Amino acid sequence: MVKQRKTFWNHIMKNIVVILFLVMALNGFSQKEKLHLIEGNQAYASGNYTEAEKKYLDAITTDPNYIEGNFNLGDALFRQEKYEDAARYFNHIAETAPDTETKAKAYHNLGNSMLKAQKLGESINAYKQALKLNPQDDETRYNLSYALKMQQQQQQQQQQQQNQKNNQNQDQENKEQQDKQDQQDQQQQQDQDKQNQEQQQDQQQQDQGNKNEEQQNQQQGEMQKGNKISKEDADRMLEALQLQEKNTQEKLKKQRLKNAQKIKIEKDW
């Protein structure tokens, strides 16, 4: 029994030593985190936000859920205009913080980060979450009102841009339709002009043909008119022909008589 008791106490002493070692180690780590936090705060206060970021990162290396380290790291990133990076740390705090007050502050800063990142919807949701946790926070209420106003202006601007785009598209469509109609009208006018020209040429040819025919008829009529003689002229011409014929006959008769006298009469047997 004594031996067993000695063994029991030896076992207890060993456990106590291990516990003390762990407490001292944890306390050492805690002191180191706080040291990095203090150094980060000093750099932040002097405006060296890049150095502050590094110290805060060192502070949360051991404990990723170190509230103060994460919170201050988010602030340092925000000051460097790394808004979306800052938002990740504030969102992490809002989800893991054990108390309502810290959650509300984290949502407030998350809303500010999203507002600066021009993500108004996410910013508005974050401010609303902060007000649910702390309805008396007038600063958050003001920021929410501002974000809502910004969202309204953004929507109006987007609507105006959409209307302008629609008007431009409609103008372009109208112009294309007008150009198409102008081309059709021009083609129709060209076809009509061509048709009118062809009709004019046909008419000119027809008129020329009629004129030629009229000239031919006129010439033929003049010829017929020139060949036509009066009855008196015909009678005189007939009398002249008859007289000429009579003279011709008389000449022939005299010629025959003259020839008859020259014939030698033979002696009869």
Burial 145-166 (b: 16+ CB within 10 A, else e): eebeeeeeeeeeeeeeeeeeee
Question: pLDDT, tens digit, for every residue of 135-154?
Answer: 999 999 999 999 999 999 99
Which of 154, 134, 70 has the alpha carbon at shortest distance from 126?
134
Model confidence at 260, pLDDT cuts 50, 70, 90, reads low
Is the model more confident about 97 or about 31? 97
Please tell me the predicted confidence (pLDDT) of residue 212.
73
Cα 128 from Cα 111, distance rounded (Å): 9
Mean pLDDT calculated for residue range 100-107: 96
Inform me whether the pLDDT recorded for 4 exceeds 60. no
Q: What percent of the chain has pLDDT over 70?
A: 79
Does the pLDDT of residue 67 top 80, yes or no? yes
**In the chain, what is the straight-line distance between the N-terminal and C-terminal CA atoms, in Å?**
232
Alpha helix positions (H), 46-137: 49-62, 67-79, 83-96, 100-116, 120-133
Over residues 26-60, the pLDDT tens digits come to 344 468 888 999 999 999 999 999 999 999 999 99
The whole-angstrom distance between residue 122's C-alpha and the CA centroid of its chain comes to: 31
pLDDT digits (tens, 9 = 90+) for 182-213: 888 888 888 888 888 888 887 888 878 777 77
Cβ neighbours for 57, distance < 8 A, ≥ 6 positions apart? 73
Nearest partner of 127 among 42, 95, 135, 101, judged by Cα: 135
Architecture of domain 81-161 in CATH?
Alpha Horseshoe (1.25)
Output the pLDDT for position 51. 96
CA distance 41 to 24: 25
**pLDDT confidence of 214, banded at 50, 70, 90?**
confident
For the chain, residues classed under CATH 1.25.40.10 are 81-161
Q: Give how far the C-alpha of residue 79 lies from the chain's centroid of Cα atoms, to the nearest Å.
A: 40
38 token code pair: 């203090």
Q: Which residue has the tokens 């207890």?
A: 12
- Buried b or exposed e, range 15-41, using 16+ CB within 10 angstroms: eeeeeeeeeeeeeeeeeebeebbebbb
3-class secondary-structure state, position 33:
helix
